[in-house]
C-alpha cells in the first residue's frame, strides 16, 4: 500500500504497509543493513495501519532520517 525509504549517515531503512488480507495489514520497518532485524506490527484496519506508518515516519524524521523515496 505504502512504502517509504529513509536514509541517514549512509544507512537506509524501509517503512511500509502491506495488505495481507481483507482485515489484516502489516506495518514493517526493515533496516537494510540487517533485514533479519525487521519489525512487523499487524493491525486490523487500513486506517490504523496508515496512522501507525505516519507515527513511525514522524519519529524517524525527528531522529534525522530523510525520506529518500516514497511509493503508494
34-56 burial: b if 16+ Cβ within 10 Å, else e: eeeeeeeeebeeeeebbebbeeb
CA torsion 55-56-60-66 (nearest 10°) is -90
pLDDT band of 59, cuts 50, 70, 90: very high
Number of domains in the chain: 1
Q: What is the pLDDT of residues 19-51, one digit of tens each?
A: 998 889 999 999 999 999 999 999 999 999 999
Q: What is the pLDDT of residue 63?
A: 98
Closest Cα partner for 59 from 15, 11, 3, 12? 15
- Structural domain boundaries, residue 51: 2-71
Q: Identify the sign of the CA torsion 22, 28, 12, 4.
A: positive
Amino acid at each position: 500500500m505504502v512504502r517509504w525509504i529513509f536514509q541517514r549517515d549512509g544507512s537506509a531503512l524501509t517503512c511500509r504497509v502491506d495488505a495481507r488480507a481483507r482485515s489484516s495489514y502489516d506495518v514493517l520497518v526493515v533496516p537494510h543493513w540487517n533485514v533479519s532485524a525487521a519489525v512487523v506490527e499487524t493491525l486490523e484496519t487500513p486506517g490504523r495501519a496508515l496512522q501507525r506508518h505516519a507515527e513511525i515516519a514522524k519519529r524517524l524524521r525527528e531522529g534525522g532520517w530523510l525520506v529518500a523515496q516514497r511509493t503508494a
